[in-house]
Structure 1
Amino acid sequence: MTDTAPPRQVTFAQALAYWLKLGFISFGGPAGQIAMMHAELVERRRWISEQRFLHALNYCMLLPGPEATQLAVYIGWLMHRTVGGVLAGALFVLPSLGILILLSWIYLAWGALPVVAALLYGIKPAVVAIVLAAAWRLGSRSLRNGWLIAIAVAALLAIAVLRLPFPAIVLGAALAGVIGGRLLPDKFRPGGAHGAAALASYGPAIIDDATPTPAHARFSWRRLAAALGVGIVLGLAVWIALALLYGRGSPLAQMGWFFTKAAMLTFGGAYAVLPYVYQGGVETYQWLSATQMIDGLALGETTPGPLIMIVAFVGFVGGWTKMLFGPDHLLLAGATAACVTAFFTFLPSFIFILAGGPLVESTRGNIRLTAPLTAISAAVVGVVVSLALFFAWHVFRLAAPPAQWDWAAIGISAVASLALLRYKAGTIKLILACAAAGLVVSYLRQA
């Protein structure tokens, strides 16, 4: 039954409590995190309407950087001005940074333990299920007609078969949206008939389709210049301070510059930029080994928050390995380097949202501008499916020769998918259950 009563206004403290909670439970990568935000903010709490949510999401998909983090910043900014956006993004990111620093310390101080490998064995199939379920939910909202489904299939083939770079897929989808918006405007209009029906089932939202853009979110060139200027000056000031304190050639200064460049290349999520991070971290600067890079990816997959937070692991191991503050302060060196890499990786995302958000708000209802974003949203569904297939290929095959299917992992993932799609299981409970299953399977194999 639809709730026709408008929800109560959200206080600043209530919003901060939610963003902090999300930072601790946001497993499943960007697709899973976006699905969590949609279920909580659009469907249950009704802080923002379906169309406003998708409009913001489509903009975030266009940007380099972690789209789920950017979406949190956008909604926080829309509701509670600049301070709301900054704190929403910070609280979404900080739990994963703290957890990854702790895990990195344990990893380097005590090494890999068999029980950890067993836990990871059960969690990885759960991640496959989480991404597949998120792709299903995104597709059910975005693929409202045959044209958008065709764009999603084309994007899947482009990235999985033709190996086209994600920016090229985004540009191709945007071009299809431009053409579709002119020739078939009803097919590329945000929401559409199915979207409207879905929206009606949730009831009115605090930020609804007809809610006027708040004063702080209205576009002006002065605000754009101020947001860009403050962000650039902040980044330069921190980098200059590192260069003056430790030298331009020091690992901390190198990390600041390198991860600023990496942040500009993260179209398509963390996996798109990992080859660049691997080349710089392992081959160029030798902050860590290839084996450590792979282990760090496994840790990143099983911790909450943006997957790109693996850069914190790279920074931690680099600071530890280079003994930035001497052999007696390895933990301090690793934690400092992890914070530096996280700061320079995420700073551009905050700048993009706080500077560009007002311009995006001004495009609502303009079919010429929203049609490309609608097409891009459809293409992203195909890209997320390709990510799930990538996960499955590596998780469901045994590494030991001869290569064969790991039926235990496939079974764990199948049960997890059923729990998510049919029974709406919570992510935390699912992760814990799959971790326990991994322990059992590993024990039986060794017995």
Structure 2
Amino acid sequence: MADTDIPTTPPSFADLVRASAAIGCTSFGGPAGQISLMHAEFVEKRRWIDGDAFLHALNFCHLLPGPEAQQLATYIGWRLHGVRGGLAAGGLFVLPGAIVMLALSMLYVAATGLGWFAAIFLGVKAAVLAIVSQALVRVAGRALTTDFKRGLAIVAFVALTVLRLPFPVVVIGAGAIGWIVGRSRPEWLGAHAAGNGDAGPRPRLTATLRTVAIGMALWAAPLLLVLATLGPDHLLWQAGVFFSKLAVVTFGGAYAVLAYMAQAAVSTHGWLTPEQMADGLGLAETTPGPLIMVTQFVGYLAGVDAPAPFAPMVAGTLAAALVTWVTFVPCFLWIFAFAPWIDRLRRIEALAAALAAITAAVVGVIANLALWFAIHVLFVRSVVVGPLGIEMPVWSSIDWRVAGIAIVAAVLLLVLNRSVWLVLGVSAGLGLATLVA
């Protein structure tokens, strides 16, 4: 290990809080940018954790459901200052984005119906389509390294788009296939267990179970309060249960689960329209913190739409807060419960294979999301055809304004490699220009 990789004296808790707050306020650009920012701050600049430990922690976080960048921040905080360090680092990674997202959600509802506002978000929706397409290209290039992985991605896409299988079934099925294949043909998935030598002392199982029990109680507490006071038919209970389930199956990053969340929130629950879902994703791209913060936008709009017995803004704020709680409390639970086992978990080859298979299937999931957004963003109308109920666009209903802006956004992102912020700004401006065109 190079001298520059050797950690210096561990920071004080106050130093960790200050550094984590700074990262939380500047963590734009999705997980890749956020992880790079943490590496620069914690490894290169401050040398609070060595490079190997950072990489091992990142690999461990990939095994867990939820946003890996937020969990990595939580793990580093836990490693430096135990549970309070994990709460500080992980919480401050989320809090700035949550505050901004709530304010933007309120502004969005207040300005809905204004012509200039609708024109801006016409451009934002077009940009979102290009952003999702870029995510598809990047993830596919990184994940589909073998023919077997490419086959899994195609199967996942067909399962979701044609067979209409639920997202959790696809993810769990891919993981099971990977586990089985990894035991006999790991080379098909290019998966190998990490780590050599002694894994260290075995953590106490009783301590892990105690942590899980405390985390589960905290996770469930607001849901039980809602159930006791408002009943199982209230929006807060339904949203809390749905997003709690979502927190357990969010493997593969935010884009993987967005397809499941978007289609369930729009088609199953009717909490918002496809266009609003695209607007929410656009807003989430402009805020610091994990992209999965778009769940807060969904919760706020759902609460405003079904506010009883509260005022609309109060109901929206309560729903946004509950959704954020049940989305991120599990992230802390996974880290605090399983971080002591990190070196042992990394040595399980079948587990690495299961993760590789899930990552391959995620490519098909993101392709399904891109198709879903394309149908609802580029076309005014769609129809359901065939015995399987496949949704198809009405080709004559294409919105050429959106299509043109989407092409510009795609060129900026995929060809010229411009930043998401620039693309969103240009697209919003082009949308506004359609008012005077």
Q: Match of 1:362, SS?
A: helix
Q: Which runs of structure 2 are paired with 1:128-147 in the superposition (5 Å)?
A: 128-147=129-148
Q: Which runs of structure 2 are paired with 1:314-325 in the superposition (5 Å)?
A: 314=301, 316-317=303-304, 321-322=307-308, 324=310
Question: What is the CA-CA distance between 1:153 and the residue it aligns to?
Answer: 1.9
Q: Deviations along 1:50-98, whole A, 9 cap, x unmatched?
A: 96476335423xx3x5666556545655666434443444334334432
Q: What's the % identity of the aligned pairs?
A: 28
Question: What is the CA-CA distance between 1:104 and the residue it aligns to?
Answer: 3.8
- Please list every run of 5 or more consecutive structure 1 residues that lacks an aligned counterpart in the other structure: 27-32, 193-207, 283-289
Aligned match of 2:172: 171
Q: TM-score, normalised by structure 1?
A: 0.73
Question: What is the CA-CA distance between 1:43 and the residue it aligns to?
Answer: 9.3
1:383 is aligned to 2:369: no
Aligned match of 1:310: 297
Q: Distance in 2 between matches of 1:189 and 1:376?
A: 13
1:300 is aligned to 2:305: no
User: Cα gap change, 1:84/1:440 in structure 2, threshold over 3 Å: closer, same or farther?
Assistant: farther
Q: Is the 8 A contact 2:189 2:356 kept in 1?
A: yes
Q: Which amino acid is the alignment partner of residue 120 of structure 2?
A: L
- Please list every run of 5 or more consecutive structure 2 residues that lacks an aligned counterpart in the other structure: 250-255, 285-290, 383-393
1:56 is aligned to 2:60: yes
Q: Is the 8 A contact 1:296 1:313 kept in 2?
A: no
User: Cα gap change, 1:97/1:118 in structure 2, threshold over 3 Å: closer, same or farther?
Assistant: same
Q: Distance in 1 between matches of 2:40 and 2:411?
A: 21
Question: What is the CA-CA distance between 1:313 and the residue it aligns to?
Answer: 1.3
User: Cα gap change, 1:171/1:416 in structure 2, threshold over 3 Å: closer, same or farther?
Assistant: same
Q: Is the 8 A contact 2:87 2:332 kept in 1?
A: yes
Q: Match of 1:269, SS?
A: helix
Q: Deviations along 1:148-169, whole A, 9 cap, x unmatched?
A: 2222222222212222222222
Aligned match of 2:346: 364
User: Cα gap change, 1:430/1:87 in structure 2, threshold over 3 Å: closer, same or farther?
Assistant: farther
Q: Is the 8 A contact 2:231 2:237 kept in 1?
A: no
Q: Which has the higher contact order (CA 8 A, sep 6+)?
A: 1
Q: Which amino acid is the alignment partner of residue 21 of structure 1?
A: T
Residue number among 231, 248, 252 corresponding to 2:215 in the alignment: 231
Higher alpha-carbon deviation: 160-169 or 47-56: 47-56
Q: Which amino acid is the alignment partner of residue 308 of structure 2?
A: K
Q: Deviations along 1:272-296, whole A, 9 cap, x unmatched?
A: 24555568865xxxxxxx6x55565
Q: Is the 8 A contact 1:177 1:375 kept in 2?
A: yes
Q: Is the 8 A contact 1:58 1:377 kept in 2?
A: no
Question: What is the CA-CA distance between 1:111 and the residue it aligns to?
Answer: 3.9
User: Cα gap change, 1:358/1:243 in structure 2, threshold over 3 Å: closer, same or farther?
Assistant: same
Q: Is the 8 A contact 2:295 2:323 kept in 1?
A: no
Q: Which amino acid is the alignment partner of residue 425 of structure 1?
A: R
Q: Match of 1:103, SS?
A: helix
Q: Which runs of structure 2 are paired with 1:322-341 in the superposition (5 Å)?
A: 322=308, 324=310, 331-332=313-314, 334-341=316-323
1:260 is aligned to 2:222: no
Aligned match of 1:20: 25
User: Cα gap change, 1:184/1:340 in structure 2, threshold over 3 Å: closer, same or farther?
Assistant: closer
Q: Distance in 1 between matches of 2:117 and 2:198?
A: 51
Q: TM-score, normalised by structure 2?
A: 0.74
Q: Distance in 2 between matches of 1:170 and 1:236?
A: 24
User: Cα gap change, 1:391/1:210 in structure 2, threshold over 3 Å: closer, same or farther?
Assistant: farther
1:269 is aligned to 2:279: no
Residue number among 367, 384, 402 corresponding to 1:409 in the alignment: 402
Question: What is the CA-CA distance between 1:303 and the residue it aligns to?
Answer: 1.4
User: Cα gap change, 1:154/1:405 in structure 2, threshold over 3 Å: closer, same or farther?
Assistant: same
Q: Distance in 1 between matches of 2:426 and 2:145?
A: 34
Q: Match of 2:163, SS?
A: coil
CA RMSD of aligned residues (A): 4.0
Aligned residues: 398
Q: Distance in 2 between matches of 1:281 and 1:348?
A: 23
